[in-house]
Amino acid sequence: MSQPQRIQPKTLKGFRDYLPEAMIPRERLIDTAKRIYRSYGFSPIDTPALEYLEILTGKGSDETDRQLYRFQDHGGRNVGMRFDLTVPLARFAAQHIQELGTPFKRYHIATVWRGENTQRGRYREFMQCDFDTIGTRSVAADIETALVIHDLMQAIGFSRFTIRLNNRTVLNGLLERLDLRQRSTEILRALDKLSKIGAAKVAEEMTAVAGTTPAQAADVLKLAELSGSNDAILTALEPLVAGSETGQEGVARLAEILSGVASAGIDSARVALDVSIARGLDYYTGAIYETFLDDLPTIGSVCSGGRYDNLAGLFTNQDLPGIGASLGLDRLLAAMDELGMVERVRTPADVLIAYFDRQRLNDYLRLAATLRTAGIGVEVYPEPKKLAAQLKYADQRGFRFAIIAGSREFDAGACQVKNMQTGDSQDCPLADGAQAVIAAIIGTAQAPLEK
């Protein structure tokens, strides 16, 4: 009987496998995001990876429509894989808000798919870590969004970052004054490319695609290129939107957000007005946020979002305004790796118990159970190999400590705790529930034991 032809193991372009040393910091980042979101009262939800195609199309932009993974299922229904978590949230809220009530605060950490060109820290399958508040237009929700982003970045370990803030209604006010309100979508999409292609090409796109005159494009870019302190930008915005109630309300809203963030004790340098950011997705209607790392700005925004007051209106007559943001998990991990912030380990446990005395397996298992009860992650090596081989394994996997004991040590009621990072060892008694062992491990750890 002939052998079946072997299939070459490979992954699709834009997709990737995650080995333990990639998944451990990834899960740690997710756990940090969950902790911060929960501290503000956001509750977890989940939605299907597949939605009816009509739910997804026409909600983000022409680009996201092109990037959609879409197909017909076995029932002949047109379906698509979610490209973000906000559009499914709008459908979810419209469907369940009667039982949820408002305001409804949720976080959602899940995988999304976009068939886009891959680049550094960006893949076709990636995870988003979203938090949103549904059912209120209050500026308090706008302020809280900035506070959550700030606390999240700090909890992850960053001290040098900037949350860039803008409000779409400011630009809309200028467009009203220029009689370009009906072309706002095309203008916003062009403006969103300002940092990538420069002012001259953005102006060309505005005239070619949005139908602006060169003078109108120049006025839009004049607003987008404002710089200086937050107060200076606010002052400069006022004459640009004079005569537009929408624009004036947008400027006032920005001032309120900045005041609220400052009242919460956030360093004013951490939140900066940047009237050039527009966010490429069409559904944003108010405040928008992009977060950049001061030490690696070229990686792009690592936490972005904004206010979308009309999105749920596509699915319900009930008024369900929303605001939120999303942590770009993969992009942020790429940045952390480049900045040397990712610990290279292949195990989530901190301690390896070496097993080299075949007759004492139960003693090893008993000691491991005692340490786990104390909250310490422990792996018992599965085979009684030579100690050198087991210590090599511990070093390769990134264990912080190895516990060494044979019959002689167990008979004496002791063991040896070896610090794998420093090479130092100390003898510890096993009496009193191995408290001395626990103290030796916890007392010499240079970082929290949880990875």
- Please say if the pLDDT value at position 268 is more than 60: yes
- Please say if the pLDDT value at position 199 is more than 80: yes
- Please say if the pLDDT value at position 282 is more than 80: no
pLDDT 10s digits, 30-51 = 999 999 999 999 999 999 999 9
Decide which of 450 and 324 is more confident: 324
- Please say if the pLDDT value at position 450 is more than 60: no
Model pLDDT, residue 331: 87
321: preceding bond cis by omega (within 30 degrees): no
Question: How far is the C-alpha of 143 from the C-alpha of 254, rounded, in Å?
Answer: 10
User: What backbone torsions phi and psi does residue 172 show, to the nearest 5 degrees?
Assistant: -60, -35
pLDDT category of residue 405 using cuts at 50, 70 and 90: very high
Residue 434 tokens, joined: 């191995």
Q: Exposed/middle/buried for 310, CB within 10 Å: 0-12, 13-18, 19+?
A: middle
pLDDT category of residue 374 using cuts at 50, 70 and 90: very high
- Please say if the pLDDT value at position 229 is more than 50: yes
pLDDT category of residue 447 using cuts at 50, 70 and 90: low
Lookup result for tokens 């059912």 = 135
Residue 112 tokens, joined: 């999304």
Q: What is the pTM of this model?
A: 0.88
Question: How far is the C-alpha of 46 from the C-alpha of 198, rounded, in Å?
Answer: 39
Alpha-helical runs (H) found in 192-229: 194-197, 199-205, 214-224
Percent over 90 (pLDDT), the chain? 71
pLDDT 10s digits, 59-105 = 777 888 999 999 999 999 999 999 999 899 999 999 999 999 999 99
Model pLDDT, residue 122: 74
Sign, CA torsion 444/447/449/451: negative
Model pLDDT, residue 451: 41
The β-bridge partners of 51 are 80
Q: What pairing do the DSSP bridges indicate for beta strands 414-419 and 425-429?
A: antiparallel
Question: How far is the C-alpha of 259 from the C-alpha of 261, rounded, in Å?
Answer: 6
Decide which of 146 and 194 is more confident: 146
Model pLDDT, residue 444: 64
pLDDT category of residue 358 using cuts at 50, 70 and 90: very high
pLDDT 10s digits, 376-404 = 999 999 999 999 999 999 999 999 999 99
Counting runs of H as helices and runs of E as strands, what totals does the chain give?
17, 16
pLDDT 10s digits, 424-434 = 999 999 988 89
pLDDT category of residue 228 using cuts at 50, 70 and 90: very high
Q: Which domains does the chain have, with CATH numbers?
A: 20-338 (3.30.930.10), 351-444 (3.40.50.800)
Model pLDDT, residue 448: 53
Model pLDDT, residue 326: 95
Percent over 70 (pLDDT), the chain? 97
The average confidence (pLDDT) of the chain is: 91
Q: Is-contact 67 114, C-beta < 8 A?
A: yes
Q: What is the mean pLDDT of residues 103-109?
A: 97
Residue 287 tokens, joined: 């405040």
Nearest Cα neighbor of 183 from 216, 222, 148 is 216
Model pLDDT, residue 149: 98
Sign, CA torsion 448/16/83/101: negative
Q: DSSP letters of 426-451? A: EEEE-HHHHHHHHHHHHHH-SS-S--
Q: Exposed/middle/buried for 166, CB within 10 Å: 0-12, 13-18, 19+?
A: buried
List, in sequence order, every beta strand (DSSP E) within 135-286. Answer: 161-167, 271-273
